[in-house]
Amino acid sequence: MMSYCFNPNCKNPQNSPKAEICQNCNSPLLLTPPVVSEDAEIEKKKIIPSVDSNSTDSNSTIINQSRYRILKLIGYGGFGRTFLAVDEANPLQKVCVIKQFFPQNKNYHQNYPQSSETISRSGELKVKTTCEKAAKLFQQEAQQLKTLGSHPQIPELFQYFQQDEQQYLVQEYIEGKNLAQELAEKGVFTEAKIRELLNDLLPVLQFVHKYQIIHRDIKPENIIRRTTGKLVLVDFGAAKVIEKKGLPQTGTIIGSAAYTAPEQLMGKAVFASDLYSLGVTCIHLLTQVSPFDLFDSRNSKWVWRDYLKMPVSDEFGRILDKMLQSATNRRYHSAAAILRHLNPQSNYMETVYFSASSAVPKKLTPQAEIRQELQEVLALESVKVQVSRVKKTLTIVISRKSDKKVNYPQILKIISAKLTDLKLPNIDKVKLLGRANGKTLPEWQQVLRINHQARWKNKIVRLQKSQSFLNISQLGTQSFWLARFREREFWLDTLMFALTWFIFGYQIIILHPLIALIIASAFMTVKYQVGKQNKLATNNLFATVATIFLIVGLLGLRFWVYDIFGLLLGCLFVALPIFYVREEMGI
């Protein structure tokens, strides 16, 4: 693999693998972040550079002395480039992605005299404004990744810094191919594959929108499938933070035109804009036809069904149609709503049903809120819902238009699943009545009774679909352990656990040797919980544990402690990670 020069003006950037100076422009080939961050704007915007694990100075913002060697150019645009690089300061030679921001328009104007008629004063101002906006978006991407990078399906931010009037963003390298490449190699997606895509990606959008962020550039090129099969949403350079509720304010028009929602083209992006872009992505993957050709501008409607190579079900087609609605009030407003319609069938079908899409059920008791929830899940059925309650009996009246038939069995399944999700207290029976508008007698009725056996089984299903259970289930996968074995912190944690067990199991025995296992486990739990909210000086903590181990080992100390002193000693050791929280500046 060659070394690539990151100087934007270098004419021949290819160099030998181990070279440190570019043979063409004499620029250094190893990109080294500054020892101390000099950009005050980073602190103001709370973009926190990576912190050197061996540093103990709390009076300055110290960042890792990583030495990044650029391997190759993988992307190029009007305001910067994207490289594949390796961190040579990392013992594992970790591969990463580096984004370099430099407005080429700035260099373009420097090549012309100020008196040139080619560039007017207003033109210079416009270019300057564009460059400033691009710089702001570059900083914004770092902020978004810092906020969202904890999600396994969003790239993690490693570092963000400025050097030689250029900005650099170092982030996790996602090994795999994007969906545009997958489409070109394997051909059109099937309905099953698109359903799988939506079930995989919609929870990611839920997470992003939860932090009041709109991605604004969802398209096949920005969705990468890892080698493990999991999808990752990348490129948050166009993302926008919603600061307060209310009407969307006009802003910059950003995104890929073919996938951009109408309101976003007018600079008024909302959360539903991402759902529109995801819908366009789906029909492109189903047809392998440009989105521009899938829309009939003469009749102002989507004609994607005309280009299908493999048919899709009517139910799934209606879901995509609603995602593609031009008017936001007719489009899905949340990723959760799509998931509910995407998975109406139950995992366990008895008297009551459980919808697989509801990981955290909500408790709603007011009738108006129950009616609102039911009306939302029945939006595709074109019916109106009325709800009343007498003692422990809930009555639901479903009204249809007199000229339109409805599928009552399907409505029964949807309502059963939703009522189960809501976990309504003190309800033993639900009466369902279906009628046409203007009619007093029902044309259809059904009674649901709470099956307590089904309720307990549904609780088990919910537990199995909870995030905690899914995290635990990953422990049995080969990919999880392979990833952990490549992490330096994993080996430090393993050694600290073993050393703690040895100290309290063989040298300082409190009550019983098995208590050492409890102390070691509690120690690692405290370290994990503290590390989730704070930056830990892990190296220093390890050094302390190792020192205690060496002292008690070399001195040959071995004694039993049965009184309150032993318990206090064990508690003090368990709390040790709290004393190694690193203070960070600029927060």
Active site positions, annotated:
217
- Pick from 260, 15, 239, 221: which is nearest to 138 by CA? 239
The pair of structure tokens assigned to 45 is: 């915007």
Classify 173 as helix, strand or coil: coil
The amino acid at residue 443 is E
Rounded Cα distance, 261 and 278, in Å: 10
Q: How many CB atoms lie within 10 A of CB 129?
A: 10
The pair of structure tokens assigned to 505 is: 């199991």
Cβ atoms of residues 141 and 239 within 8 Å: yes
- Pick from 269, 139, 154, 279: which is nearest to 208 by CA? 154
Burial class (CB in 10 A: 0-12, 13-18, 19+), 565: exposed
Pairing outcome for strands 157-163 and 231-233: unpaired
Rounded Cα distance, 432 and 536, in Å: 57
Give the single-character DSSP code of 21: B
Place of tokens 């309502």: 415
Cβ atoms of residues 174 and 224 within 8 Å: yes
Rounded Cα distance, 144 and 164, in Å: 24
Rounded Cα distance, 540 and 543, in Å: 5
Concatenating the DSSP letter of every residue in 443-489 gives SEEEEEE--HHHHHHHHHHHHHHSHHHHHHHGGG-HHHHHHHHT-HH
Rounded Cα distance, 233 and 221, in Å: 10
Place of tokens 């690692």: 524
Concatenating the DSSP letter of every residue in 47-84 gives ------TT---TTS-B-----EEEEEEEEEETTEEEEE
Q: Long-range contacts: 264-272, Cβ < 8 Å, 24+?
A: 264/216, 269/214, 269/216, 269/240, 270/214, 270/328, 271/209, 271/214, 271/242, 271/333, 271/334, 272/328, 272/331, 272/332, 272/333
What are the residues whose beta carbons fall under 8 Å from the beta carbon of 481, sequence distance 6 or more? none
Concatenating the DSSP letter of every residue in 408-423 gives HHHHHHHHHHHHHHHT
Rounded Cα distance, 347 and 354, in Å: 6
Rounded Cα distance, 559 and 511, in Å: 11
Measured between alpha carbons, how far is residue 197 from residues 76, 202, 286, 294, 474 in Å?
28, 8, 12, 20, 20
